Structure 1
Amino acid sequence: METTAPEGCPHGEEQTRTRNTSCMNAIDSTPGSSALSGTALVNFIAGIAATGGLLFGYDTGIISAALLQITREFSLGTMGQQIVTSAIIAGAFVGCISAAPLSDWKGRRRMIILAAAIFLTGTAIAALAHSVVVLTLARFILGLAVGASSQIVPIYIAEVAPSSRRGRLVVLFQLAVVSGVFISFIAGYLLRNHSWRVMFGLGAVPALFLLFGMVFLPNSPRWVAMKGDIHGAREILRKVRSTRQAAERELAEIIDAHDVQAPWSELRKPWVRPALIASVGVGLLCQLTGINAVLYYAPTIFAGVGFGENSALLTSVAIGVAMIIATVFGSWAVDVIGRRKLMLCMIPGAGISLALLAGILTLNSNPSGAAGWVMIAAVVGYAIFNVGSLSVAVWLVGAEVYPLSCRGKGMSLVAASHWGADLVISLTTLSFVEAMGAAGAFWLFAAINIAAFFFVLRYVPETRGRSLEEIEASLRNGTFAP
């Protein structure tokens, strides 16, 4: 990266960290902008960008209710249901990998705008589909946008946000995701007597909001600096920080890191490997612990064990409420309690909830009365503990732990591991339930939750309150791992 002295400091052929530090001390006496303007702008940026998460959640969650109608209309068997459901996941896998080089080349902001346009295209095709093939293609297109959003939006927010508030602002993306899922459950229940096409078509509203909203937002200051435009990075930082001093101090940290865009091979280097293990592991476990199996197939599974269709859809609404509550709590806790501690406290609760659920189904494959209510409580408890830990942390950890030079590519691997695991889960859940019973599926997910606890304990460090440049320094000096 080309290094340029902060404004007001002497320029020269060689610029050292000592020079940067002395310049920052001189600049600290410069009056800055009001705290309100910087904070408000960052909140506004994060809120608009997080609409990508709302689309992510709505388009992946709406299939839960729509699948009941689609199955009847197109006479789908188990494999057909799984293919229609998982097409969006296959698209997300392709989308997150493709977005990495594009976001490094054209910038995070431009790629979010492109993702919004793809959301609109996929929504229109899905709403008008008159065959399973066209519907599957539409959901694959939607998946491209979902995957791109999951890779780009958390990075964009993390690179704009100050370190003291980065956790809750990045988790705003996950809050938008679960809000989108919840809205999809509400829409599915309210529109249960209407066409599934209307359910899909409603996704156009947030897509338009994201498309037009992103046009007015700035680029990521770190991406701009990585491209060599130090002056442009300074101007953006001055707008999104509470004081000019804070902006210049952060710019000096970015300059001192001397990051330039690195090839994919950078991720294979030993010093980057701890970040790769921690982030990809959380990305995999977020799915392998079973959360999307519950989201996608809860109505189908509950209807299959004796609940009526309307009751099954209402159970999904309860799960959606639980997810929002858990994410709101998690968005506070990641910056107060910490990312690592939050996961270690809550993951065991998810395992216990699933074990309780599996135990009930083992004793009675068609529970009713009190056992039925305990089963619903166990599912809701699982949603709270899992979403409030792994689902809250997955995009945050991935956006934080990589060096700037390969952050986009590293985050794409996190997203790819997340969507790859999700694809496996969505393609096999109903088949596994048919072969082994719902109890067997939930026993397996309970065991994976316990394994997730020990993974976090061993490999995931605490990043609360640390700047992105400090986290990168810990990778370089070997102090990253817990």
Structure 2
Amino acid sequence: MSGPATEKPSRPLPPLTEGVHKRRLGLVALVATFGGLLFGYDTGVINGALEPMSAELGLKADTQGLVTSSLLVGAAIGAVSIGKLSDAWGRRKTIIMLAVLFFLGTAVCVFAPEIVVLLIGRFLLGMAVGGASTVVPVFLAELAPYEIRGSLSGRNEMMIVVGQLAAFVVNAILGNTLGHMDHIWRIMLAICALPAICLFFGMLRMPESPRWLINQGRHDEALAVLKTIRSEERAIAEIEDVQQVNELEKKENETGLKSVLKNKWLLRILLVGIALAVFQQLTGINSIMYYGSIVLEQSGFALNAALVANIAPGVIAVIGAFIALWMMEKINRRTTVITGYTLVTLFHVLIGIASFAVPADSAARPYIILILVVCFVGSMQTFLNVATWVLLSEIFPLHMRAVGMGFSVFCMWIANALVSYFFPVALEAVGLTGSFFGFAVINAIAILVMFKFLPETRGRTLESVEEDVTTGAIFAVGRKK
């Protein structure tokens, strides 16, 4: 890299206006976030399906972890490979391909005769989940005006938790009404085919990312797309700014991983992205989202009661997501994230203390732990989940966005897979107390890392963020806000 881009956008952008274009933008976001809904359902459905699946297929603690983590390994590979593919194919075509992959993976799981075929189906679903976790947030961020980018991009995380809640509700209904059936877990998994079909046909009518089109030199198409989701005056001004920064970056930057490794500021923003992604998983949130029923059984609930009680964390996650979307344009990203890790650490400690101090035969024990779990999930969803995905979608310059997002999310899914694989083993070895005290220590470290290194991006265009990342100015600004 020969030097940083130093030119600034020539003028302030015209303000956002109401109209058909705003409704069109909302529709595009709704359709694209069906990818997030699928992400949520496929990761959440295992929570209730695992026990009947284990009974039918003879799964033990280690093979339960394998079935759960096989999706996550697939997601790690999908995040890197499909994220990069979207640079060549475009965001829209890639999301359509992901819808097909979601449907195919669901079909393989539903008709799996034994564990090996089931693992193949879970891996295919993981590829789709990983691809969606990378491509959909980038697609939304590249479509969104900077004034509402946080709340628009954050809708994907909201749909993820809606999908997880849907999985919990479906599991509870089917488990309590048809739990006597031998293949009930197959019905739980099969429902995922419906949103996959909606995503496929919906994306056929959606536009391509205008920023991706500009990067491909298709400026007229980009302007035509932007005019459908902005006022004409705003669309023209925004296209000029994107073109200006894109041309400067093409002149002064190599693309891909090589350019990142040669520039200390790009390498630093990549490490920040990796830290955001990995620490989000090390909160242990998916120990609840994947094994919540088992955790609640260990707390003292009966099996069917645990399935119903497990809906409570799903409900609070959705409520938290709505609050998080409201906060995105009102509170700085750094403040939100640091607050989140502080609260999560506190509730980890309290869960550990309650598990240790409240007698196992106490009638109050399961409800105390359930309340603390709900508080943990609520804190996570309100302050961390949405903010993490929004930050990952906006901190990387365009020329390294696929690489940065893909590699960060790859690391996220590897961390997710490791936590998911080892959590049942840890639960068996050290119980709830040891498991959640361990999470508390890790997240105390996360507070320090985010305080020292996390930059601020709220209220800025992607092009402005890109320029300051390239020069390193964003890291100084992050501490002052």
Do the structures match in fold with TM over 0.5? yes
2:200 aligns with one of 208, 211, 219: 211
Partner SS state of residue 272, structure 1: helix
Residue 5 of structure 1 corresponds to none
- Per-residue deviation, 1:17: 6.9
CA distance in 1, matches of 2:445, 2:17: 47
Per-residue Cα deviation, 1:181-239 (whole angstroms, up to 9, x for no partner): 00000000011115111100000110000000001111100000000111111111111
- Per-residue deviation, 1:308: 0.3
CA distance in 1, matches of 2:286, 2:309: 15
- Per-residue deviation, 1:33: 11
CA distance in 2, matches of 1:378, 1:324: 17
Residue 243 of structure 2 corresponds to 255
Per-residue Cα deviation, 1:69-115 (whole angstroms, up to 9, x for no partner): 01111121111110111111011011111112210001011100000
Q: Does 1:151 align with 2:145?
A: no
TM, length-normalised to structure 2: 0.92
Report sequence identity in percent.
Answer: 32
Cα distance change of structure 1 residues 34 and 169 upon mapping to structure 2, 3 Å threshold:
closer
CA distance in 1, matches of 2:122, 2:359: 33
- Superposed structure 1 runs of 4+ greater than 3 Å apart: none
CA distance in 1, matches of 2:51, 2:400: 42
CA distance in 1, matches of 2:49, 2:360: 24
Residue 401 of structure 2 corresponds to 407
Residue 100 of structure 2 corresponds to 117
Residue 377 of structure 1 corresponds to 371
- Per-residue deviation, 1:144: 0.6
Q: Does 1:267 align with 2:260?
A: yes
Residue 6 of structure 1 corresponds to none
Partner SS state of residue 19, structure 2: helix
Deviates more, 1:446-455 or 1:36-45: 446-455
CA distance in 1, matches of 2:361, 2:448: 33
Matches within 5 A, 1:388-407: 388-407=382-401
What amino acid maps onto 1:53 in structure 2? G
CA distance in 2, matches of 1:35, 1:305: 51
Residue 3 of structure 2 corresponds to none
CA distance in 1, matches of 2:373, 2:298: 16
TM, length-normalised to structure 1: 0.92
Deviates more, 1:269-278 or 1:376-385: 269-278
Residue 281 of structure 2 corresponds to 287
Partner SS state of residue 426, structure 2: helix
Q: Determine if contact 2:300/2:366 at 8 Å carries over to the other structure.
A: no
Q: Determine if contact 1:282/1:390 at 8 Å carries over to the other structure.
A: no
CA distance in 2, matches of 1:276, 1:58: 29
Cα distance change of structure 1 residues 305 and 374 upon mapping to structure 2, 3 Å threshold:
closer
Q: Determine if contact 2:110/2:187 at 8 Å carries over to the other structure.
A: yes
Deviates more, 1:37-46 or 1:369-378: 369-378
CA distance in 2, matches of 1:454, 1:464: 21
Structure 1 residue runs without a partner (length 5+): 1-15
Deviates more, 1:401-410 or 1:254-263: 254-263
CA-based RMSD of the aligned residues comes to 1.9
Partner SS state of residue 368, structure 1: coil
Q: Does 1:310 align with 2:304?
A: yes
The number of aligned residues is 459
CA distance in 1, matches of 2:139, 2:332: 21
CA distance in 2, matches of 1:353, 1:34: 42
What amino acid maps onto 2:255 in structure 1? A
- Per-residue deviation, 1:304: 3.0
Partner SS state of residue 130, structure 1: coil
Residue 13 of structure 1 corresponds to none
What amino acid maps onto 2:98 in structure 1? A
Q: Does 1:244 align with 2:251?
A: no
Structure 2 residue runs without a partner (length 5+): 1-5
Residue 110 of structure 2 corresponds to 127
CA distance in 1, matches of 2:147, 2:117: 46
Residue 123 of structure 2 corresponds to 140
Q: Determine if contact 2:457/2:465 at 8 Å carries over to the other structure.
A: yes
